Homo-oligomer: A and B are copies of this chain.
Amino acid sequence: MTPLWQREPVGVVGLGLIGGSLGLDLMAAGAHVRALVHRPATAERARERGLASVVSTDPAVLAGCGLVLLALPLDRLLEPEPALLAALPAAAVITDVGSVKGPVLRRWGQLLAANGVGPEASRFVASHPMAGTARAGVEAGERGLFRGRPWVATPEADTDPAALEAVRELAEALGARWLCCDAEAHDRAVALISHLPVLVGAALLQAADAGGGEAGLVRALASSGFADTTRVGGGNPELGMLMARANREALLEALDHYQHSLAGLEAMVRQEDWSGLEQSLALSHQLRPDFL
């Protein structure tokens, strides 16, 4: 059967990096894309860039959409505007693109159950296309952002299989690698590989600043290795905070694992156990290709 995104209009809420990229790829694939944005200036620029077939600041633009993608920042996703909720078509499949899944499922489960209008909770599919660049805003969207990248869905026991399938078809049409897991496993994994590196790199920058003594020297000698290690740690502070807040439990657990590993390495340096240190560094060296 023809996929839902080809049969019915697709709604995109928010046209930042993720929403704009979704719009561009869906337009290129021949979908009819109806986008909702907050500010009139954004709407105008989005029209110029061709990010959607129709762009509006009026939630009514979503009327008639068979599938709606919520491409909002985490804070706005967790506290959506009532007008948005009211405008979601009752029959639509809804998915989000948030980087933390447990809180999104709990919040949207409540919202859709409490509302009595709008789609049923079972047609809400929590998902996370894991693609990104350093850019943000209406200029950031680009073609092919999802190609070859993981797109993780975290269905629950009562998730409508047809809704899940509709999101999978869209993700795969955009070239993403489709994965399903439970929300807790997802959140634990992203704490380790996305959120922990933010704290690790941020602390490294602060240590280099605090420990430098002759501050100019430390800065003059920093190389590409330091730049790489601190790239995500020196990223957008608000984004980093929002992810930590939404994924606090898993992040604290990841920090425990990390501090245990670091303490082990430090003890070897302190005790001058050089063969132990080399073995431990060899373990890290062996692990890394698995994560690429």
A157 at the A/B interface (Cβ < 8 Å)?
Answer: no
A26 at the A/B interface (Cβ < 8 Å)?
Answer: no
Interface residues of A in 212-250 (CB under 8 A from B): 212-214, 217-223, 225-238, 240-241, 244-245, 248
A199-B265, A229-B228, A234-B284 are contacts. A222–B205 as well, Cβ < 8 Å?
no
> In the complex this chain forms, how many copies of it are found?
2
A40 to B71, CA, bound (A): 62
- Chain B residues, Cβ within 8 Å of A259: 262
Judged by DSSP, the binding face of A is helix
Give the Cβ gap from A10 to chain B, nearest Cβ, in Å: 25
Interface residues on chain A, number (Cβ under 8 Å): 95
Contact B221 A281 (CB under 8 A): no
Contact A287 B209 (CB under 8 A): yes
* Closest chain B residue to A209, Cβ basis: B287
Contact A193 B244 (CB under 8 A): no
Partner of A207, one of B190, B213, B226, B260: B260
A230-B291, A257-B207 are contacts. A269–B244 as well, Cβ < 8 Å?
yes
Partner of A291, one of B208, B255, B285: B208
Ranked 3 nearest A-B pairs via Cβ: A234-B288, A237-B281, A202-B284
> Residues on A close to B: CB < 8 A?
130, 132, 149-150, 152, 177, 179, 181, 185-186, 188-194, 196-214, 217-223, 225-238, 240-241, 244-245, 248, 251-255, 257-262, 264-266, 269-270, 272, 274, 277-285, 287-292
